[in-house]
């Protein structure tokens, strides 16, 4: 049996200011999965991603990426992952093509190999015409797509996206989901966080819902949707099914 893309066991994080961001989180992202990590703001999603990608130190627990422990084999663990972080974090004066090629440099990919690959990625993501403008000239949605191209340059087996569609308009969002779906059909494992529950409902195979540093639901999409309690009451409001489960599990009372 192949190792899962991500195996997190009893993960705890206390930030220096005392905030207990994670209170013992365990979750597994199977290889080849499209996994949605959902939760309200401040639940701990970005902290989980930060620890898994080596950007944030954990307090307790263990994390393995495709069987590589992040403490024992940090370089091997990191090499498996492409990260699209929550914040836009490229140099706005650089050109998209250079941003993607230079990222390849961090992984030891020679320029002559990186150039055609970067061009292809940027084209696939609809940035073919924008390769040579300055990063700051891109729209919000284009910046996100540039970050996806950059995250894929070293051919990671595992793509992690932290709210990649925040601030992206409906049409472009749909295009991005289609692209991600195509990548999973080619064998890439995807973990993402998003606020767009309806889209997660349509795309994700597995879902975990986190609230205040603890996992409150974890299973296949169908298992999570089955937690939905049908009520005949008409509240005058109806979201998608996943949205209702999410609200049941994360609301204050
Ligand atoms: N660098 C930090 N220092 C102190 N507290 C932090 C830091 N980063 C995040 N937190 C806190 O940890 C908790 C989880 O944050 P985060 O992982 O960003 O949640 P999410 O991504 O789900 O919105 C929040 O209470 C947040 O304020
Ligand atoms: Mg976050």
Each residue's pLDDT tens digit, 133-146: 999 999 988 999 99
Name all residues whose Cβ lies below 6 A of ligand 1. Answer: 15, 17, 19, 21, 39, 41-47
* pLDDT tens profile 61-108: 999 999 999 999 999 999 999 999 999 999 999 999 999 999 999 999
In the reported structure, the alpha carbon of residue 47 is separated from the centroid of ligand 1 by a whole-number distance in angstroms of: 6
What does the pLDDT read at residue 233? 53
What pTM was estimated for this model as a whole? 0.94
In the reported structure, the alpha carbon of residue 144 is separated from the centroid of ligand 2 by a whole-number distance in angstroms of: 15
Mean pLDDT of the chain: 92
Q: Which atom of ligand 1 is nearest to the CA of 19?
A: 5
pLDDT value at 192 more than 90:
yes
Task: Kindly report each contact of residues 49-58 with a partner whose C-beta sits within 8 Å and lies 24 or more positions away, as own/partner.
Answer: 49/83, 49/85, 49/160, 49/162, 49/191, 49/193, 51/11, 51/13, 51/22, 52/6, 52/8, 52/81, 52/160, 53/78, 53/81, 53/83, 53/160, 54/78, 56/13, 58/11, 58/12, 58/13, 58/22
Structure tokens at 156: 């990671």
* pLDDT tens profile 161-172: 999 887 778 888
What does the pLDDT read at residue 50? 97
Q: Which of 95-99, 208-212, 240-244 has the lowest mean pLDDT?
A: 240-244
Mutate to test the pocket of ligand 1, among 36, 37, 47, 209 (most ligand atoms within 8 A of CB): 47
In the reported structure, the alpha carbon of residue 160 is separated from the centroid of ligand 1 by a whole-number distance in angstroms of: 18
Instruction: Give the DSSP H/E element, type plus range, for residue 227.
Output: none
Mutate to test the pocket of ligand 1, among 19, 36, 193 (most ligand atoms within 8 A of CB): 19
Structure tokens at 95: 């050109």
The residue nearest atom 4 of ligand 1, judged by CA position, is: 15
Q: Which atom of ligand 1 is nearest to the CA of 48?
A: 17
Q: Which atom of ligand 1 is nearest to the CA of 47?
A: 17
In the reported structure, the alpha carbon of residue 231 is separated from the centroid of ligand 2 by a whole-number distance in angstroms of: 32
């Amino acid at each position: 049996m192949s190792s899962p893309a991500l195996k997190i066991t009893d993960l705890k994080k206390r930030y220096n200011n005392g905030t207990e961001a994670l209170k013992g989180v365990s979750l597994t992202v199977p290889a080849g999965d499209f996994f949605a990590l959902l939760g309200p703001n401040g639940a701990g999603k970005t902290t989980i991603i930060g620890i898994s990608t080596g950007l944030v130190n954990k307090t307790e627990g263990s994390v393995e990426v495709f069987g590589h422990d992040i403490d024992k084999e940090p370089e091997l663990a990191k090499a498996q992952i492409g990260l699209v972080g929550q914040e836009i974090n490229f140099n706005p004066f650089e050109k998209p093509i250079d941003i993607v090629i230079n990222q390849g440099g961090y992984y030891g990919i020679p320029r002559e190999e990186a150039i055609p690959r970067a061009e292809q990625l940027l084209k696939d993501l609809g940035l073919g015409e924008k390769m040579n403008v300055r990063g700051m000239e891109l729209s919000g949605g284009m910046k996100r797509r540039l970050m996806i191209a950059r995250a894929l340059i070293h051919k990671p087996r595992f793509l992690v996206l932290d709210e990649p569609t925040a601030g992206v308009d409906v049409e472009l969002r749909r295009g991005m989901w289609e692209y991600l779906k195509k990548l999973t059909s080619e064998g890439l494992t995807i973990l993402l966080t998003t606020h767009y529950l309806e889209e997660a409902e349509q795309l994700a195979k597995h879902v975990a819902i986190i609230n205040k540093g603890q996992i409150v639901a974890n299973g296949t999409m169908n298992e999570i949707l089955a937690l939905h309690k049908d009520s005949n009451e008409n509240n005058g409001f109806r979201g998608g099914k996943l949205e209702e489960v999410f609200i049941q599990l994360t609301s204050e009372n």
